[in-house]
Amino acid sequence: MREADLAACRALLRDGSRSFHTASLVLPHSVRAPATALYAFCRLADDAIDGDRGSPASLARLAARLARVYEGRADKHPADRAFAAVVEDHALPRALPEALLEGLAWDAEGRRYATLSELNAYAARVAGSVGAMMAVVMGVRDPAAIARACDLGVAMQLTNIARDVGEDARMGRIYLPLGWLEEAGIAPARFLERPGFSPALGAVVARLLAHADALYDRAAPGIGALPLSCRPGIGAARLIYAEIGREVARRRLDSVSSRAVVPGRRKVALLARSLAAAPLATTGPGLAAPPLAETRFLVQAVTAGAAPRLAGPLARITWVIGLFERLMREDRLSRSGA
């Protein structure tokens, strides 16, 4: 990956993705670089849809852009070139970024979600896919670990939705399950006309945050399935996003009047907590929990994909270390009776 392309990706993310930037500081360089390229491409894809209001032409251009990446003739944009290097180096299954683009297309058409399952399907595409891609970049392809990475991505997206209720409504968007709103006596159309907070809306937000917290708990065993050097960064991302939900709760669940932000000092404290916990992280029986029904296709895409080509002594050593880590996890699980 060219350093100039990577520098452009870092500049793109520095202001627009602060939580990722904070968590990425403790990722090893071998992962931080491709992760930065991956997030930059995802950010540009999101911006392309938002900037052109998701027109069919913009969606077609984005799909063609991704196709060129996988055909080995990426566009000249630094993020495209950097992402193409990630695809080649890590044998990134094409189904993963395609799932992301499908989710962005759902955004463009203004799709709404009647049930939690439908919302999970959306979150699987726009965030679970990113979790799966990050795991692949870290050299992880075990289906159980990929399932936990998808859990984490979906949890983060649910947190984003709970935090951005007012911001989304003012743009004519609503992501909260429509069935939940109706149960709470809230008419979606009327709410979009005049977005305002109410205790009933707060109860719906609390309900969504509870589901996100359950997924953060499901994702926790996956941290121990990652290479040791990667655990602090992903653990920090999990803690920081969960803290966003707690900040929403501290504001009495009013995510219409203001937008919850985790203070910088609190992020640093969570980062330190993740660093301290990384060497002690274990998998446990929770690692083997089945994937969410809505993320199963992502897990299958990774396990069906080819592993990256191994080249040279360092790559072989990395593969052997990964094999030993997997065997040790399986041995611990068998001795614990899981």
Cα–Cα distance, 284 to 329 (Å, whole number)? 9
**Using one digit for the tens of pLDDT, what is the confidence trace for 245-296?**
999 999 999 999 999 999 989 988 998 999 898 888 878 889 999 999 999 9
Amino acid in position 143: P
Torsion sign over Cα 225, 226, 231, 233: negative
Angle between helices 296-304 and 129-137 in degrees, nearest 10: 30
Local confidence band at 314 (pLDDT 50, 70, 90 cut-offs): very low
Please report whether residue 48 resides in a domain: no
Cα–Cα distance, 212 to 245 (Å, whole number)? 8
Whether the pLDDT of residue 43 is over 90: the answer is: no
Radius of gyration (C-alpha) of the chain in whole angstroms: 20
Whether the pLDDT of residue 327 is over 60: the answer is: no
Average pLDDT over residues 302-311: 69
Spell out the residues 6+ positions from residue 233 whose beta carbon is closer than 8 angstroms to its own.
23, 24, 25, 26, 27, 31, 32, 274
Please report whether residue 42 resides in a domain: no
Parent domain of 272 = 96-330
Q: What is the mean pLDDT of the chain?
A: 88
**Using one digit for the tens of pLDDT, what is the confidence trace for 62-98?**
899 999 999 999 998 899 999 999 999 999 999 999 9
Local confidence band at 53 (pLDDT 50, 70, 90 cut-offs): low
Please report whether residue 316 resides in a domain: yes
Please report whether residue 239 resides in a domain: yes
Local confidence band at 326 (pLDDT 50, 70, 90 cut-offs): very low
Number of domains the chain contains: 1
Cα–Cα distance, 194 to 283 (Å, whole number)? 46
Whether the pLDDT of residue 159 is over 70: the answer is: yes
This prediction has a pTM of 0.87
Amino acid in position 86: V
- CATH number, domain with residue 225: 1.10.600.10
What does the pLDDT read at residue 315?
A: 43
Local confidence band at 21 (pLDDT 50, 70, 90 cut-offs): low
Please report whether residue 115 resides in a domain: yes
Using an 8 Å Cβ cutoff, are 37 and 6 in contact?
yes
Average pLDDT over residues 162-176: 97
What does the pLDDT read at residue 338?
A: 46
**Using one digit for the tens of pLDDT, what is the confidence trace for 237-259?**
999 999 999 999 999 999 999 99
Please report whether residue 47 resides in a domain: no
Please report whether residue 273 resides in a domain: yes
Please report whether residue 270 resides in a domain: yes
Nearest to 146 by CA among 218, 42, 250: 218
Structure-block tokens of residue 238: 């999990």
Using an 8 Å Cβ cutoff, are 170 and 195 in contact?
yes
Which of 19-28, 39-48, 116-125 has the largest mean confidence?
A: 116-125
